[in-house]
Each structure stands twice: as structure tokens, then as C-alpha cells.
Chains A and B, each alone.
Chain A
Amino acid sequence: MVESGTATDLLRWIPLLPLLGALVHGVGLGLLRREMARPLVIAISCGAPIAAFAVTCVAFARLLGLPGEQRALVDSVYNWIGSGRVSADLAFSFDALTAVMCLVVTGVGSLIHVYSIGYMDDDHRDDGGFQRFFAYLNLFLCAMLLLVLGDNLLVLFLGWEGVGLCSYLLIGFWYGDRWNAYCGMKAFVVNRIGDFGFLVGIFLLLWSLGDAATLNFAELRAVLPRIAEQTVSVPAWLPGGAEWKLTTLIGLCFFLGACGKSAQIPLYTWLPDAMAGPTPVSALIHAATMVTAGVYMVCRLSFLYETAPGAAATIAWTGGATALFAATMAIAQTDIKKVLAYSTVSQLGYMFVAAGCGAYSAAIFHVGTHAFFKALLFLGSGAVILAMHHEQDTDRMGGLRRWLPVTHAVFLVAVLAIAGFPPFSGFFSKDEVLLSAYAAHQIPGHQALWAIGLVTAAITAFYMWRLHFRTFFGECRADAETQRHIHEPGWTVLGPLVVLAVLSAVGGFFGLPAIWGEKIGLPNALGELLHGVLPQPEHHVSHATEYALAGAAIGAATLGTLVAAWMYVWSPGVPAAIRSATGALSRLVENKYYVDEIYDALIVRPLVAISDRVLFRVVDAGVIDGALVNGTALGVRAFAGNLLKYAQSGLTQGYLVTMVVGTLVIVAWMLR
């Protein structure tokens, strides 16, 4: 047993509190069909995450009081599954990495719960939909906290699947609509493909570690050197030759899981469709927390990826490719939430670039700032959607700053943050990510990766300003009736927006890179916190280069901004002109490169068709049941009916002949 931290009973309460909230609603509404009074629903379901946040703060304070860099709190509840070489406790550990994730999850989670009170106010008045929504939301929070608190791979997986379930339930929250239900199912099934990778990763660890098999993170870290140098043979046509490091294979399996949950190529297609869920869900699950679970997992397993350069490079490049690819798709979307969805995919790509390049704390830094500004963007767009009576198409918006000054202001902060303008939070974290790519000599083509990140930054600025201008500037394109009813939402909606706007503005100062921090005497608090938990990359980049890189990033952001301003403010005729000039190309982008259609045609349809027409109709019904089973039965009947019946002829002579022949055969046998 590896000594892994100071024991406490505190940690179990963090996921337990939201679970209790979910249980109360689940039993009361789900089973007894008794709808609770609304104030009580609100008190329970918003109280739970706030209480969890408070407990997290207490735990965090206690953590900071502990000496040493590898400090952690642990809480082992009981042995969950134990059989043969598989043994996993229901155990939680709280180190700096978990602390950051927990603070973000419970903090942003609480804000979004409060926001939902207003947003879901008039939803499903007839069947307790309000309460159902909060039941799912609390359950989600519980699962997400299990995920980040889990002390072993199995508890992490429990949370991992739990958030997937809640995502499924919440995407399809308005289940009366076929499309929503389809999107929910798609999310779950695509995620399951990733989970398959996750499971195979676990099994590979169990298999290769032999007698030392364990699922506990601290123990894995200790025993991993045993297999760090092993290799496996793989088909020779795979990149990297016929011999792979075992850890690379394991790392790639886990990364497949991360690709599913964090919407990376090739499994990203579920996330844009996940926007079918209510907007607070998009903010909490599909922007701030759940989708960053893959990044968290890679950081949690950093000790594995440190020994798996091939896997790390794959992560970095997948992240880079996804960042750019998704950004180009965001350009042409008109649905306000779809733009944000592709933007999320793209930003998650950034996080994987950093994680793949070994800059794990930069990845977590971006997870944090992204949680602030992307939650703000989604909640802000929710305020817009609410004001526009559930209109999501920016083609029917415009000029909204006139009616929604507060929403416009907070949205602007978020746009500045994601576009990467200093001193907003996104600037610092994105800068760290780009720097890590530039400096990562172990990654093949790391400078090209940096360039991709830079181009993506310009595109990001462009599509975010495009969205902002089309929503809040110009003439309103909504009909007069809608225009008359546009108004700012209530305080439960605006309050969380303002808090998130402040965090988006100043969040960068939690993890201020040294080159900036030295100037104003502010330490890199996040970096120091994570120092003992996550491996740190060794940068060999001069300060001059760092400033140059930052300058390039600001330049890219400015360029994107100017192009957007030119196209959507100064010369509004340009977009249409570009569109007609590049007909096929813009159609390709608008239709998201037809990836969904390609997957459908290449995988889904053939699978169903083969299962139905070949496996079921031909093999099962035709060959096995028809020819073999019923064929045998018919054969026996034919044999009995056509041949055996002559034996029962009733003619004594016939019986006599049979008897004599039979006797002769037996005698011959005995005399042999």
C-alpha cells in the first residue's frame, strides 16, 4: 500500500450532498409522482451544490495547511469491488488537481443551479419538469464530483459513466421532441465508444501488471516503472512500426475514452447535437465541466503519459487538429448555441495540445478559465434565447444591446476573454497553451502545432466577434411582435452572469505566467499549487521569445477581430459576397463537412443493414433456424414418413425376414 495522504471523512460529503438532493427528487417525483412545492425544490437542489462547494472550500483549506508537495486528503469509504486481481475501494482523494477541479465544478455548478431557477421557471408546468430538471442536475453534479474525487480508475469510471447518463437525460430533457431524444442517444452511444477504449486501457493495465495489478492512482504511479519499458507488437502498417511501447498503447486506449467525453476527432460529433438540451445544461455539462473530464483524466494519468511519448504526441496533434477543424466549422454557424458548441470543441482541443505537450498545469489552467468564460457565454446566450422567446438563430437577432445592456456587457467580457485579449483570463491561459506547444521539443512538428494554435486563435476571435456583432449590433431582424417583448431576465439569471463575468475578467490572475507575474509581483498561484501533483515541462524559452509569442497571439486576435468588424459592422454586404464567390466551399463548411452524413453512411447504416438483412434474416432465420433446425425436423419427419413407415407394414412375412436377418447379424457379431 502506498501512503497516499491524510485520512478524513470529509470528502465523501462532497458528492453525497448532491446525491441526496437527486434522491429526494427521484423518489418523490419519479416514483411517488408527488410534486414538491417550488421553493422547497429550489432550497434542496440549489442548497446541495452550494453546500458541496462549502465542504470543498473546507477541504481545500485543510489541504493548504498540510506540509509537503505531494499533500493530499484521502477518504476510503469501503471496498467496492474485490475479486481476484480486481480490487477497488470506493475511495476519494483530494490533491491539488482534484481541488482545482472540485472548486470549478461546485463553484460554477452552484452558479448554474441558481441560474436555472430563472431559466427553467415556466418549463413543464404540467408534469413536474422543473423538479425533474433539478433532479438530473444534482445527479450530474454528484457523478462529476465522483469523477474528479475518485482515488482509483474504477471510481473515476463510475463518475465518467454517471456524467454520461446525466448528459443523456438532460440532452433529451424535452423528450417529446424526436430530435432531442435522438441527440441524447447519440451522445451516449458515441461516448460508449470512448468508454470501450477506457475499459480496454484498464484491462491492459491489469493484464500487464500481473501480480502488481492495481487500479489505485498512487499505487499505479509506483508500479508503472515495471512496465514502462515493455513493448508490444502491433500490425506493421501502424505508424511507429511494428513495436510499440506498452504504455503508449495503454495511453492511447485511455485517450480514446477522453476523445469521447471531451469531443475530440473522431468522436466529437455528439457535442454540437448535445445543444438540444436546455441552455444551463449546455453551460454546465457541455462547456464547463463534463467535457473537460477527458483533459482531467489525461492529467490524472500524467505519470503514464510521461512514459508514453507516442501517446502524448497523438494527444497533442489530435488536440491541435480538432482545435482548428472545429473553429472552421464555428465560422459558418448561425445558431447561437451551435457556434458556442464548436467553439467548445475547439477550446478543448487547446487543452489537449497542452496536455499532450506535457504542460499539464497549463491544460488545467485553460480548463478553469474556459469554465468561466464558456459558461458565461452559454448562460449569456441563454439570457438572449429567453429574451427572444426561445429563438436561437442569430439570423433573427441583431441590435439586442439596446434591450439587454447587462447581458451585452457580460457577453462582451466573455468574448474578450475567449478571443484572448489581455488582461482577460483567456489570454493568459491560451498563451500558456501556445507557449507549451512552441517549447515542446519532444513532440514532432511542435512548431507547426504552435502555428495551428495561432491560426485557430485568429479564427476564434473572428467567429466570436461575428457572433457578438450579429447578436447585439446592427438592426434587429426579429419580427415586431417579438421585439416588443424583449427584456432583461430576472436576477437569478443575471446574478450568476455577473459573477462569471468577474471571474472571466480576472480569472487569469490565478495562474499568471511568470513573465507577467514578475512585473506586478503576483505569483503563479495555480502553477505552484499543481507543482507537486503534475509533472512540469522544462522550458528553454527566453523571455524575449515569450513576449514575441504573446505578441503574435495578440496580433492574431486583433486580426480576427478586425476582419469580423469589417464583415459584420462596417461592410455588411461582404459575407454574402464571399458566400457566393466560394459556393461549394462555404456549403461544405456550413454543412460541417458532412461528417455526420459520412459516419451515418459508412458506419451506422451498414451496421444496421448487415445486422438486419444478413445476420438476422439470412444467418439466424435462414441458415440456423430455417435450414439446420427446422430442416432437421422436416428431414426426420420425411424419413419417418417415407421410409420408416414401411417397417410398420403389418405383413408378417416382412417382420419374419427382419427377424432372421437380425438374428444372423447378431450371431455373426458374437462369433467374430
Chain B
Amino acid sequence: MDLLDGRLLTIVTFLPLATGLVLLVLLRGLPERVWKIVALASTTLTFLLSLLLWFRYDATRPGHQFVEHVAWLPNWGIHYFVGIDGMSLLLVVLTTFLMPLVLLAAWNEQRKQARTFLFMNLFLETGMLGAFVSLNLFQFYVFWEVMLVPMYFIIGIWGGQRRVYAAVKFFLFTMVGSLLMLIAMIVLYGLHQEQFGAVSFDLVRVPGGGVPGLLETAVPLAGQAVWWKTQPWLFAAFALAFGIKVPMVPFHTWLPDAHVEAPTSGSVILAGVLLKMGTYGFVRFALPLFPIAAEQAAPLIFALALIGILYGALVAMVQTDIKKLVAYSSVAHLGFVMLGIFALNEEGLEGSILQMVNHGLSTGALFLLVGMVYERRHTRQISAFGGIAKPMPVFALLFGIVAMSSIGLPGLNGFVGEFLILAGAFVVNPWVGTAAAFGVVLAAAYLLWAYRRMFFGPVEEPENRALIDLDWRERFVILAVVVPIFWIGVNPNPFLRRLDASVSDLLHQMETRKAAALQTAPPVQAAVSALGVELAEGAVR
């Protein structure tokens, strides 16, 4: 395995794209089946290699591991700089895990330009992995944008009726946010250059010396510099880019359209991984770069997250299209994730990052399941079903397990994340914590209601009577997700322990940066702690 040493992360990241190019250029004349096998083999290998990352990752060590640093455009401070900590590790493994399943789930789907479709998926995987492992902000931005392209085509070419509208909407929404982020990045870059006299987009110092990282830049507080150089505005630009991706209410309306129009694999990746790009962006960049602004914005984000949880659940409840229902449920679940992140404490953050994985698994599986029944019935209207537990008992069982995971039943993965998030949010603001906890009631309501209408009752439609249960390929795909659903539910500690060092590192970093910034400036009353303290004082006497 010496071959892999020092370049494992690069191999994991670029293996899919390399396979994709081979597929596109060299394997042209071969039958479709071979393409599929090649793509599946490559993504499976990527997953296995990422397992090496999982096992070789030293959970006791803070900071980034598997670091690689290569000069790219050194005059501009742009380097190829990758490395992972616990947070990125979990998301990398989630991505590599979902990709082969997605391809396997689409095995029998007949579609135009099958080879291009596979290429786009592989290209997308490299884009996502690249974003998760980037430690150079510019490089991150490249991957962040590159990712849009294959997803745009996946929705726009292989999507449903309104695919072009949905694809353009998806693209434009993300672009608006990213452009502001790009400007903020350049401003940050300028500040860094002013302070250290050297150019670098690297987030942290390269191991063994070199230029200080962007994270060491002192970002002026409001009133200390021109407005566009200060924390609130820079944070706002980053937050908008990430918030659209999450998506946070009210920037969420691209999501139902994109989900519904995307083919199954697109929906799974979109929900499973792409949405996490936003939440990941918050923990990786927005929080440590602008800690004071982040704390000041926390009440606003708490409010939006809470609205997302309750509003997303209520709107999900009244959907007539099962895929749209799952899409809106994502708005609610991601609201939980945002809530935990901005609790800014250990259990909240760890719960949130775990919940990113959980949501990827359970919502990913829900989209896979919806896709399987859509393939059979060519409708997603809940009312078109009814009583299909009778013809499809295995499907009903697996759907039930995944739905329960999404509802947050203890013993399954969703509970662990939600519980930690709520515990973290509650100690910051009991009222928000309480209101968010009510989301668990609504989750049960919308999912069980849909489940009842689809699976229970008499089988009235003749097409439903003839439905064929899942075959072994399909069972395998869902079971592969159900296993970690149980595993995380029963024993989440292997996941949580891998987060400990990174999360406490993040919190520590925020504290020190905050302290440093406040030393040079008149104290700014951090709004979130003020609110928290006020409530706590009001409540406990």
C-alpha cells in the first residue's frame, strides 16, 4: 500500500473523473453494459479506498490528515492543497458510499446517451469529493462551481417534464450565491496579503512552514474598516452562498423543483451530498473565518432554521407527490442541521455533522425507493397507490425502516443526530429548542400519513395489484443503506469519536480568533450569547 501513501486523497478524488474520461474517450464502441460495469467498478473502488481513509484516520490527532500540497498558480497563492479532518472524512465516505449504489440502482434504466450520463455522474463525484477535501479556498471554489455543471446536465437532459426550468433554476440560484462568495473570497485574500505580505488562498498553514493560512487573517469588525472588508458583510456573502445550497428558507424553492425533475440518481446525490455542501461550507469556512459575525448572526440563523423545520414539515405534509414530500422533508431536516451548527457547542456540532450523514442515508434511500416504485408505476402521486404492502412486502418493510429512520426513531440513525442537535440548541436557547423538538411530531405525521396512504388499505387500482416486489439488486441497494442506518443508531460512537478532535478544534479556533479580534477592538456584544444569557437569566432564577 506504499503506492497510496501521500497521495491517497488525490487518488480517491480523481479516480472517478479519470474513469469517466476513459469511458468517454476510449470505450466508445463497447456495449452499454460494459460502460456500466466500468463505472460501477470504479466507484466501488473509490469507496473501498475511502475506507482506507476511514481506518487510517487518527481520531486522536487534531488538524488535517492525508495532507498534500502542490504549487499550482503560486503567484496568486493558488495551490493544490488537500487534507481531511473528521468532518470532511464523514462526508467523503458518505459520498463514495452513495455513488456506486446510485449507479447500481439505475442499472436497468434505459436512457439516451447512457455513456454521457455515466460520465456526468463520475464527474460529479470528483467535483463533490474535491470540494470536501479542499484546503485552498480558491480550489474549493473551483470544485464548488464545477459540481454545478454535471448536475445541471443530469437534471436538464435526463430529468422529467419541466427539467429545463428546474435545471436553470438550480443553476441560477447557486450562481447568485457563489458570485457573492467569490467577491468575499477575493476581499479576504486582499486582507490576508495586507497583513502578512504574502499571497495565499490556503486555509491553513502548510505543514512544515510557509505562509500563514487565511484562518490566521484578522478580519476587521464592523466599523473598523470599509464596510465591505468587515466580518458581517463577508460572512453574509459566504452565508448566502451556503444558505442557498442548504437550502434555508426562504431560498429553498429551487429544491422541490430540482428534486422532482431530476432522475432518481440526481435526486439521491442532490439530497444526499450536494445539500451538505452548504452546511459543510458553514462549518469549514464561514464559522472559523468570521467567528464574531457568525455568533451575531446566530439568532437570525436559529430563526430561519426553526422556520425551516416547522414550515418544511407542514408543507411536506400536504404534498400529493411523494417525491415532493421527501424534498420538503429535506428542508425540515436541514433546518435541524443548521440549528445544531449554530448552537456552537460540541453536542450540537457533532450532532449536525452526524445528521448530515444520516440525512444523506435516509433521504437518499427514500429517493431510491421512490424511484423504484416510479419505475414500476410511472407515477409519484400518493393517491395512485394504496395497499401496496400486499403485493410488495419487502418494499414496504424497507420503506418502513427508512421512514422510521427519517422520523427519528431511537435505535436508528436519525435519532442520534436529532437528539444531539436538540440538546445542543436547547442549552443555547430553550425556547427555540422546544419549538424545534415539536418538529419530531410533525415528521411522524407527514411520513406516516403518506406511508398509510401508499401501503395500507385495500388494493383498489388494478395496476397496483400486479406490482412486482423488489428484486435482489434493488434489495441489495436499499439494504446497503439500511445497514449503516442501524449501525449509527445502535453505535454512533465510531462516528462521533472521529469528530471530537475536529469539532473541539473548530470551537477552540473560534474562541481564540474571537478573543484576538476583540482585543484590538471595543468589545462587541455577541448577540447570540446575549440572547442566550438573557433567556437563561429570565428562566432560571
Contact = CB atoms under 8 A, between A and B. Distances in A.
Interface string A171-207: 0100111101110110011001101100110111011
B440 interface: yes
Contact of A611 (B250, B252, B315, B457): B315
B253 interface: yes
Interface string A74-94: 000011111111100000000
A402 interface: no
Nearest to A160: B410
Choose among B315, B410, B492 the residue with the greatest number of A CB atoms under 10 Å from its CB: B410
A599 interface: no
B450 to A, nearest CB: 10
Interface of A: 26, 30-31, 33, 78-86, 127, 154, 157-158, 161-162, 165, 168, 172, 175-178, 180-182, 184-185, 188-189, 192-193, 195-196, 199-200, 202-204, 206-208, 230-233, 243, 246, 607-608, 610-612, 615-616, 619-620, 624-625, 628-629, 633
A33 B394 contact: yes
Contacts of A633: 172
A83 B420 contact: yes
Contact of B457 (A85, A177, A624, A629): A177
Contact of B493 (A79, A161, A200, A616): A79
B419 A188 contact: no
Contacts of A208: 540
A615 B475 CA distance: 37
A18 to B, nearest CB: 14
Contacts of B348: 84
A165 B253 contact: no
Given A176-B457, A615-B311, A188 B440 contact: no
18 contacts: A31-B397, A81-B420, A81-B496, A83-B351, A83-B496, A84-B350, A127-B390, A154-B410, A161-B415, A176-B390, A196-B437, A196-B441, A202-B423, A206-B426, A231-B541, A611-B317, A615-B318, A620-B253
Query: Chain A interface mostly helix, strand, loop or mixed?
Result: helix
Nearest to A625: B253
Interface stretch (B73-81, B126-134, B427-435, B513-521): B427-435
Contacts of B423: 84-86, 202-203, 206
A182 B409 CA distance: 20
Contact of A162 (B315, B317, B410): B410
B474 interface: no
B83 interface: no
Contacts of A168: 448
Contacts of A175: 387, 389, 455-457
Contacts of B319: 616
B397 A608 contact: no
B438 interface: yes
Contacts of A78: 491
B359 to A, nearest CB: 17
Best-surrounded residue of B169, B311, B437, B444 (most CB of chain A within 10 A): B444
A79 B492 CA distance: 9
Contacts of A625: 253
Q: Which 3 A-B pairs have the closest CB atoms?
A: A84-B347, A181-B456, A84-B346
Contacts of A185: 448-449, 452
A181 B452 CA distance: 6
Which interface class (under 10, 10 to 19, 20 to 34, 35 or more) fits B?
Answer: 35 or more
A615 B315 contact: yes
Contacts of B424: 84
Given A30-B394, A84-B348, A610-B314, 20 more contacts: A31-B475, A79-B493, A81-B496, A82-B493, A83-B346, A83-B496, A84-B345, A85-B427, A154-B410, A178-B456, A188-B444, A199-B437, A199-B440, A203-B430, A204-B426, A230-B540, A231-B540, A231-B541, A612-B318, A628-B250
Nearest to B354: A83
B441 A193 contact: yes
Contacts of B347: 83-86
Interface in B315-336: 315, 317-319
The CB with the most chain B CB atoms within 10 A, among A83, A196, A612, is that of A83
Contacts of B345: 84
B6 interface: no
B394 A204 contact: no
A232 B539 contact: yes
B411 interface: yes
Contacts of B411: 158, 161-162
Contact of B410 (A85, A161, A607, A616): A161
Interface of B: 169, 172, 250, 252-254, 311, 314-315, 317-319, 345-348, 350-351, 387, 389-390, 393-394, 397, 404, 409-411, 415-416, 419-420, 422-424, 426-427, 430, 433-434, 437-438, 440-441, 444-445, 448-449, 452, 455-459, 469, 475, 479, 490-493, 496, 538-541
B253 A158 contact: no
A420 B538 CA distance: 50
A633 B315 CA distance: 24
B457 A181 contact: yes
A182 B455 CA distance: 12
A620 B444 contact: no
A207 B426 contact: yes
Contact of B427 (A165, A207, A232, A612): A207
A196 B540 contact: no
A246 B539 CA distance: 9
Task: Pick from A78, A168, A189, A230 the residue with the most CB of B within 10 Å.
Answer: A189
Contacts of A79: 493
Given A231-B541, A246-B540, A206 B496 contact: no
Nearest to B249: A624
Nearest to B456: A181
A607 B541 CA distance: 36
A614 to B, nearest CB: 9
A390 B194 CA distance: 85
A81 B314 contact: no
B197 to A, nearest CB: 28
B295 to A, nearest CB: 18
A261 B415 CA distance: 19
Contacts of A165: 404, 409
Given A199-B422, A203-B437, A230-B541, A189 B404 contact: no
A451 to B, nearest CB: 36
A608 B350 CA distance: 34
B541 A232 contact: yes
Contacts of A127: 390, 393
